[in-house]
Amino acid sequence: MTLSLISEFQLLSVLAQEMNMRKASERLFVSQPALSQRLQTIEKEWGTKLFIRSQKGLSLTPAGEHVIQFVNEVLLKQEKVWETIHSLQAGVSGTLKIAAASIVGQNWLPQVLKKFIDTYPQAKISLLTGWSSDILKCLYDDQVHIGIIRGTPDWKGVKIHLFSDPLYLVDREITKPEQVLETDRPFIQFKSDSNYYQEIQDWWMRNFKTSPKRTIVVDQIETCKQMTFNGIGYSILPATTLNNTEKNLFKIPLVDQNNDPLKRDTWLLGYESAFQLKQVQAFVDLIKEHSDDSQV
């Protein structure tokens, strides 16, 4: 190591520790004359003597004591910053920017985010929720790293299938699909900008050949869910909004014309460049594990 590569603060710190030019020069791997010349330059920059030289060694001047105290404080902070930088490079940090469909953000994503935060405490999360069209716009505008949407997306970048979500006819009274033609209670629907609404309409007309007697349309799936749970009417809800805590509630699985379960897909989308970020790749790995563990 040459003297030019040794920082001024490191040099002063070593001199203050050794209080001896020879020992300090050996420790810094430089010649004693070169060290003496560098110290003279530093003292000239400070505008005062920092060390008094004698045959017994070095001693600090009053000004030198203040300078060395400052030097040691700066070097200690520098060491902590280097440790932080090293930990950031070695681990997962930074802000993970996610945009997710509201139904996912309310019902499925919180468990994943809890795991992510517990596993990577240095990472931060920025979350936006909305309709799937909003999520795609966020991605196109580069506002987020990844988006999670419902339905089948037309996306040219990275596209990862997360899970398929069975649909259920949900009610407190109806136990068979054909009973919807007999009840006077309303069919509660929630607005959606995807093809979800059309899928429900197609299923309904295929099975009943007529429209519901009464319909209530709400703007949020959570409102639809709570109205159904409270017995106001019946609705069609995805499995991700349901759990085993609902009591006295009938859940009838919907099937298509081939008698296969009717489902909604959930996808994770992003540009290739975003997946090069450690926090994004860590989240993708964790979300895949969660999907496997929950066996959705």
CATH of the domain at 205: 3.40.190.290
The domain containing residue 214 runs over which residues? 166-263
pLDDT > 60? residue 293: no
pLDDT > 70? residue 274: yes
Pair (259, 177) in one structural domain: yes
Pair (27, 108) in one structural domain: no
Mean pLDDT of 130-156: 89
Pair (195, 243) in one structural domain: yes
Pair (152, 10) in one structural domain: no
Counted domains in the chain: 3
Q: pTM, whole model, 2 decimals?
A: 0.67
What pLDDT band is residue 152 in, cutting at 50, 70 and 90?
Answer: confident
Domain at 142, CATH number: 3.40.190.10
Mean pLDDT of 64-71: 95
Pair (145, 208) in one structural domain: no
Mean pLDDT of 289-293: 66
Domain at 42, CATH number: 1.10.10.10
Pair (177, 257) in one structural domain: yes
pLDDT at position 193: 67
Pair (66, 98) in one structural domain: no
The rounded percent of the chain whose pLDDT value lies above 70 is: 92
pLDDT at position 194: 62
Pair (67, 212) in one structural domain: no
Pair (176, 236) in one structural domain: yes
- Out of 90, 108, 137, a domain closes at 90
Pair (159, 286) in one structural domain: yes
Q: Output the DSSP codes for the chain.
A: --GGGS-HHHHHHHHHHH--HHHHHHHHTS-HHHHHHHHHHHHHHHTS--EEEETTEEEE-HHHHHHHHHHHHHHHHHHHHHHHHHHHHHS--EEEEEEEEHHHHHHTHHHHHHHHHHH-TTEEEEEEEE-HHHHHHHHHTT--SEEEEES----SSEEEEEEEEEEEEEESS--SGGGGGT--SPEEEE--SSTHHHHHHHHHHHHHSS--SSEEEES-HHHHHHHHHTTS-EEEEEGGG--TT--S-EEEE-B-TTSPBPEEEEEEEE-GGGGGSHHHHHHHHHHHHHHHHHT-
pLDDT > 70? residue 5: no
Pair (212, 65) in one structural domain: no
- Out of 70, 90, 110, a domain closes at 90
What pLDDT band is residue 263 in, cutting at 50, 70 and 90?
Answer: very high
pLDDT at position 83: 60
Pair (99, 230) in one structural domain: no
